[in-house]
């Protein structure tokens, strides 16, 4: 199994450089991040510091979110919001720069919440346009754009795998894939086992957290490792990301240290 750690949720109080160090200290050699900078286009020194931290720690960047707005305030993406395309596309260029420096090839694009007073059709059409832009921008790098359903965000239009797959079909790019976050799908009432059976070979990425609680495997009721194993059997060959908020003193106690790197 190839594991990667989502450093942003695992160590939210640390700086990006400190998060990279924590990944390595926990015995992992692969990590993904939500967008680790305050704005869509970081300063050169910020990027250089981040890239150098990964290299110094021997950690491979496996995934990076595009800028998703003010997450703390409840925003979940900007690419479907009229008036913010320029901001999103500038961020795509910044992401591509980081990709060239790190070898990262997977990029998560959050769709954006529904905006009051703006027709859904207008938001959806803009989302498709901007997702095509992003997919085309990272394609020469071998990059894949990921799209995921979310839980805990009632204004977010992608709640099920079918919701995300419909957008992916409309984008019509070979490097646009479903991000199967088993936690979000399960919390939203999805039959995760059925999604795995139907789509595992075409998943662009898997993320896991147990439910209830969004903590490490074994703290809730989800058969996460069974779903992961079944996805492997059906052809999924990518990373499996640990994207959960730590609950226990050692949030990786369920995974032997020798199996993390």
- Residues carrying an active site annotation: 148, 243
For tokens 């059925």, name the residue: 194
- CB atoms under 10 Å from CB of 162, counted, come to 13
Using CA atoms in the order 159, 125, 76, 132, what is the torsion angle rounded to 10 degrees?
Answer: 100
Backbone CA torsion sign across 81, 85, 90, 92: positive
For tokens 């993320």, name the residue: 207
Q: Beta-strand (E) ranges in the chain?
A: 3-6, 30-33, 60-65, 106-108, 144-147, 176-181, 203-208, 240-242
- CB atoms under 10 Å from CB of 8, counted, come to 20
C-alpha distances out from residue 139 to 28, 65, 92, 135, 162, Å: 28, 16, 12, 6, 24
Q: CA–CA separation, 117 vs 80, rounded Å?
A: 14
The first and second tokens of residue 66, run together, are: 């595009």
């Amino acid at each position: 199994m190839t594991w990667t750690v989502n450093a942003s949720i695992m160590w939210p109080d640390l700086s990006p450089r400190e998060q990279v160090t924590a990944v390595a200290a926990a015995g992992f050699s692969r990590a993904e991040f939500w967008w680790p900078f305050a704005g869509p286009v970081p300063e050169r020194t910020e990027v250089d510091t981040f890239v150098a931290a990964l290299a110094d720690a021997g950690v491979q960047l496996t995934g990076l979110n595009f800028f998703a707005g003010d997450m703390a305030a409840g925003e979940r993406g900007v690419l479907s919001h009229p008036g913010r395309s320029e901001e999103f596309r500038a961020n795509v260029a910044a992401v591509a720069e980081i990709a060239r420096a790190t070898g990262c090839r997977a990029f998560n694009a959050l769709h954006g919440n529904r905006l009051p007073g703006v027709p859904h059709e207008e938001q959806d059409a803009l989302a498709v346009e901007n997702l095509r832009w992003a997919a085309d921008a990272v394609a020469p790098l071998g990059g894949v754009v990921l799209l995921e359903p979310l839980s805990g965000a009632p204004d977010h239009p992608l709640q099920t795998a079918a919701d995300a797959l419909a957008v992916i079909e409309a984008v019509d790019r070979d490097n646009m894939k479903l991000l199967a976050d088993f936690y979000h799908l399960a919390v939203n009432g999805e039959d995760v086992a059925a999604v795995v059976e139907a789509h595992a070979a075409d998943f662009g990425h898997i993320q896991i957290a147990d439910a209830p609680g969004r903590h490490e495997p074994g703290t809730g009721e989800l058969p996460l490792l069974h779903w992961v194993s079944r996805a492997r059997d059906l052809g999924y060959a990518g990373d499996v990301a640990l994207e959960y908020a730590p609950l226990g003193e050692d949030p990786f106690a369920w995974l032997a240290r020798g199996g993390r790197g």
